[in-house]
Amino acid sequence: MLTLNINGKPRQLDVPEDMPLLWALRDVLDLKGTKFGCGVAQCGACTVHVDGEATRACVTPVGTVLDAKITTIEGVGASPQGKALQAAWLDLDVMQCGYCQAGQIMTAAALLARTSKPDDTAIDDAMEGNLCRCATYKRIRAAIKTASGQSADDRREA
Amino acid sequence: MDTSRRLFLQAGAAVGGGLMLGFGVRADAAATAVTLTDYVIVAPDGVVTVMAKNPEIGQGAKTMLPMLIAEEMDLPWSSLRIETAASDPKRYGAQFAGGSMTTTMNWLPMRQVGAAARWMLIAAAAQKVGAPHDAFSTAEGQVIHTPSGKRFTYGALAADAAKINPPKLDDLPLKDPKAFKLIGQSKAGYDSPKIVRGEPIFGIDMTLPGMLYAVYVKSPVYGARLISCDLTAVKAAHGVKDAFILKGTDWHGLQDGIAIVANSWWYAQTARERLKPVWDEAAGAPHDSLIYLEQAKDLVKGPGEVKQSHGDADGALASAAKTISAFYEVPFLAHVPMEPQNCTARVTADGAEIWAPTQNPNSGGELVARTLGIGPEKVVVHMRRSGGGFGRRLENDYMAEAAAIAQKAGAPIKLVWSREDDIAYDYFRPGCYHQLRAGIDGDGRLSVYDCHSVTFARDGKVAQGASIEGNAFAPMVTPNFRLTQSLIPSTVPTGYLRAPTSNAIAFVHESFWDEIAHAAGQDPVAFRLAQLDAHAGDKADYNPGRMRRVLAAVAERAKWGQATLPKGEGMGVATYFSHRGYFAEVAHVRIADDGQWRVVKVWAVGDVGSHIINPTGAYNQVEGSIMDGIGSMEAGMTFEKGRAVQVNFQDIPMMRMPKAPLIDAHFLASDFPPTGLGEPALPPILPAVANAIFAATGIRIRKLPVLPEDIAAGRRVA
């Protein structure tokens, strides 16, 4: 039996240590907000926080995060950054299909936790690994800026 | 599809004593199937539940359709609940997400549903007060007796309204658009609060008691049959409950493969490595992208089949003062929606129940019935929110697989495809090849346009999604025109990708138009405007006046021709009419010395009729379509020995945050009924970008994907 610390609570599960965190969350612990997109860390749909770092759960064996604090989309609203991002995502109506957006919010929350007011370059660098097939990038950028108390304008060509 | 179908209304009591209102649909008076159903449920406490009839794949139908009903009912948006309807075509008519048809087909009927509900609520109040119908008005979920000012909530009237004979829809007055309160106001996605909290609302999030997880392993070679497979090792793998072989040859449904059923999807996926299946893959050998290209180059030298012709193309080419010709290549593309294909199925002696993210639930139910050999009435399909569609989920092959696996496993199962499965077993946007010729007369006017297109065939016919017809502009404005088609037989499964056909041929024809404009020594915008003006009176599906307006507007917004751009930058323009929408777009590109290219900004102006129903959703669709189109210019699927070469996202470049351009999107209202926005903004962006690269570098892009090394090499030659 393994114990993971997820969203501030200990969760026990009986799985092999090499099971990726993604499948432990989704299939074993019934936390389905973390999404499966590619299985090879190429799309970011499965992004969670491991000790505050944005991490691809699809390539993270549970055995490597037994001592870590894991935060998922279900728990990110407990942090001020997560809460502000969720609100901005709704205010700006970011979503189309919405499937990637949990991962987008998780990556953005980790960015805001280390850079309180990221500029466009910092947003580009942090978010490049998160694919949005509906390509809602314009609104994702605006929502990150709004959530961090900045003007929503894209300043890249200013 | 005929949208002038007769509508039938009937009211009945809902559970709990509320008003349940719906309509049945039948194709014409002679049809026998008239079924009644519910769209609007008014609970006694005033909460109104409105059904969204079509799948939600990110195009916003779940929010937009109920807006139409609520508008005519004078419902306050905040009191509204929205539920996705069951898949039941007898009740709801055709239910699908495709062809940008949701708005086109439902603009009138959904408003009529709302108007009828409002009429019945007024009738109930009229009975109560003993006053005529026209003494009442409605506002904010209440019926108001105008002379006295007395108000009745919809909730209080619902039980009585349910006993009223419903009105005839044709006689029912609809709101004056000037009085619209919801239509034209932005309403955020109804499910979005659940999504930001990570609630399990997508297809892949489905669970059932006792559910097991499955993968289904097919040959990477299309059409290959399974000869044998030893299952001993896979059955012994950790967590695996069962493994078995299924047989099938339906390329829209069940094909030969091996099912692995396990306690967790990861156990099933990991156990795949233990399989050593033996396939008969001989049929795939000649299917290779390099062979296809050689075949295409040969075919365009031959006669082909003339699909469309007027005037004398050969004569006009012979007598033209100047002729230009070009060969264009467009690759296959994968859909790759973010949510991989998946389906949850429970099959018992009583029938099958299916939960799936699908664009096409009605035909999915029929496919499951055929696959299991049971009556279609024994299949229930529940639509789950889809993590993208882009046309991939018009096919329901995953439903057939899940149902067959659940039946054999004797337990509910959730089938999830890996991303590698999702790419390998796609129904690809087919590639195509085009030999174009144009002639310009002595006055600088275009005299002839001739195109020989090579596309793909299956079973002797043009393959699904492989039509090369539909470019409306060139045949309208060219006195001598010919479109010829040749076919390459292929085993590669093909289908419909967002803006099918247009997403390929807009690039070809609108790039070639740019070539023609330059050959004629004219500005690409002015050249198109002149052609549209010359045909202003033409009456066809393509309305030149609507396109002229959007083109003139986009040129103005982009300050076309006014800016002097730095070296390595350029602007390009294109127009395209598809899915009933008119779009003109200008792209500004920047190209680095090594050929790396990036779109800096896009201006788009569209005309999709009289109203933009939900502006926030509409702009999101236009912005997404443009970025999707630009992203697709870096991607291409290739094939070797009958199998796909690319396997996961690392092989399929797509638009990502740093390359996302600034977008200035704008709509022009016109006097035509509103039409859909899932697709028409996409096709013109590809040629607009290609034409901008030409403006920046002098290198003409005639082949997709646009590779930096090709641009760099072109510069060295130049």
**For residue range B258-300, what is the model confidence (pLDDT) as tens digits?**
999 999 999 999 999 999 999 999 988 889 999 999 999 999 9
Interface test with B, best of A7, A36, A47 (most B CBs within 10 A): A36
Distance, C-alpha A127 to centroid of its chain: 10
Backbone angles phi, psi at B278, to 5 degrees: -110, 120
Question: What six digits make up the tokens of B174?
Answer: 């609809």
CA nearest B573: which of B718, B693, B455?
Answer: B693
If pLDDT is split at 50, 70 and 90, which confidence band does B7 have? Answer: very low
Give the least confident one: A91-105, B15-29, B153-167.
Answer: B15-29
E strands present in B529-668: 569-578, 581-591, 597-607, 639-640, 643-644, 662-667
Q: Is the pLDDT of residue B18 over 70?
A: no
> So what's the pLDDT on residue B19?
56
If pLDDT is split at 50, 70 and 90, which confidence band does B485 have? Answer: very high
If pLDDT is split at 50, 70 and 90, which confidence band does B51 have? Answer: confident
User: What average pLDDT does the segment B462-481 reach?
Assistant: 95
The C-alpha atoms of residue B80 and residue B49 are separated, in whole angstroms, by 6
Q: Give the 3-state secondary structure of residue B708.
A: helix
Q: Which residues contact B449 (CB under 8 A, 6 or more apart)?
A: B313, B436, B437, B438, B474, B475, B478, B480, B481, B482
Percent above pLDDT 90 for chain B = 83
Residues 684-713 of B with CB under 8 A from A: none
**For residue range B292-309, what is the model confidence (pLDDT) as tens digits?**
999 999 999 999 999 999
> So what's the pLDDT on residue B49?
87
Cα distances from B354 to residues A78, B90, B256, B510, B695, in angstroms, run 36, 18, 21, 43, 52
Cα distances from B151 to residues B136, B148, B576, in angstroms, run 10, 9, 51
Residues 246-285 of B with CB under 8 A from A: 264-266, 269
Task: Write the Ramachandran bin of B112: left for phi over 0, alpha for psi from -120 to 50, otherwise beta.
Answer: alpha
Report pTM: 0.95
Shortest distance, CA B711 to any CA of chain A (angstroms): 24
Cα distances from B59 to residues B388, B567, B583, in angstroms, run 9, 39, 18
**Which residue among A28, A33, A89 sits closest to B199, beta carbon to beta carbon?**
A33
Give the highest mean pLDDT range of B17-21, B156-160, B205-209: B205-209
> So what's the pLDDT on residue B21?
57
**For residue range B539-557, what is the model confidence (pLDDT) as tens digits?**
778 999 999 999 999 999 9
Q: Average pLDDT over chain A, rounded to whole?
A: 98
If pLDDT is split at 50, 70 and 90, which confidence band does B38 have? Answer: low
Question: What six digits make up the tokens of B47?
Answer: 């909460």
Give the least confident one: B81-85, B510-514, B677-681.
Answer: B81-85
In the sheet that holds A9-13, the strands lie side by side as A9-13, A2-6, A69-71, A47-50, A53-56
Nearest CA in chain B to A155: B662
Counts of helices then strands in chain A (DSSP H, E): 5, 5
Residues on chain B touching A94 (C-beta within 8 angstroms): 192
> So what's the pLDDT on residue B35?
23
Give the least confident one: B9-18, B89-98, B263-272.
Answer: B9-18
Shortest distance, CA A143 to any CA of chain B (angstroms): 13
User: What average pLDDT does the segment B609-630 reach?
Assistant: 98
> Looking at the complex, does the CB of residue B663 fall below 8 Å from at least one CB of chain A?
yes
Nearest CA in chain A to B60: A96
The C-alpha atoms of residue B75 and residue B85 are separated, in whole angstroms, by 20
Percent above pLDDT 70 for chain B = 94
ipTM of the prediction greater than 0.85, yes or no: yes
User: What average pLDDT does the segment B547-569 reach?
Assistant: 96
The C-alpha atoms of residue A139 and residue B196 are separated, in whole angstroms, by 14
If pLDDT is split at 50, 70 and 90, which confidence band does B538 have? Answer: confident
Distance, C-alpha B571 to centroid of its chain: 28
Shortest distance, CA B224 to any CA of chain A (angstroms): 25
E strands present in A7-108: 9-13, 47-50, 53-56, 69-71
CA nearest B87: which of B309, B322, B383?
Answer: B383
On the 0-12 / 13-18 / 19+ scale of CB atoms within 10 A, B351 is: middle
> So what's the pLDDT on residue B2?
32
* Burial letters B410-420, b for 16+ CB under 10 A, else e: ebbbbbbbbbb
- Facing residues of B308 across strands? B483
Q: Is the pLDDT of residue B190 over 70?
A: yes
Neighbours of B668 (CB within 10 A): 16
> So what's the pLDDT on residue A158?
84
First to last CA, chain A: 55
The C-alpha atoms of residue B615 and residue B618 are separated, in whole angstroms, by 5
**Which residue among B198, B386, B648 sits closest to A102, beta carbon to beta carbon?**
B198
Shortest distance, CA A71 to any CA of chain B (angstroms): 12
Residue B162 carries which DSSP code?
T
First to last CA, chain B: 51
If pLDDT is split at 50, 70 and 90, which confidence band does B402 have? Answer: very high
**For residue range B526-535, what is the model confidence (pLDDT) as tens digits?**
999 999 999 9
Give me the residue label for tokens 């055709």.
Answer: B94
User: What average pLDDT does the segment B154-176 reach?
Assistant: 86
Question: Per the CB < 8 Å rule, is A33 touching B385?
Answer: no
Q: Average pLDDT over chain B, rounded to whole?
A: 92
Residues B146, B41: contact at Cβ < 8 Å?
no
User: What average pLDDT does the segment B622-640 reach?
Assistant: 98
Question: Per the CB < 8 Å rule, is A137 touching B656?
Answer: yes
If pLDDT is split at 50, 70 and 90, which confidence band does B100 have? Answer: confident
CA nearest A35: which of B337, B359, B259?
Answer: B337
> So what's the pLDDT on residue B161?
86
Q: Is the pLDDT of residue B9 over 80?
A: no
Residues B642, B223: contact at Cβ < 8 Å?
yes
Shortest distance, CA B319 to any CA of chain A (angstroms): 48
Q: Is the pLDDT of residue B4 over 60?
A: no
Q: Is the pLDDT of residue B92 over 60?
A: yes
Question: Per the CB < 8 Å rule, is A131 touching B264?
Answer: no
On the 0-12 / 13-18 / 19+ scale of CB atoms within 10 A, B699 is: buried
Task: Write the Ramachandran bin of B311: left for phi over 0, alpha for psi from -120 to 50, otherwise beta.
Answer: left
> Looking at the complex, does the CB of residue B364 fall below 8 Å from at least one CB of chain A?
no
Residues on chain A touching B213 (C-beta within 8 angstroms): 27
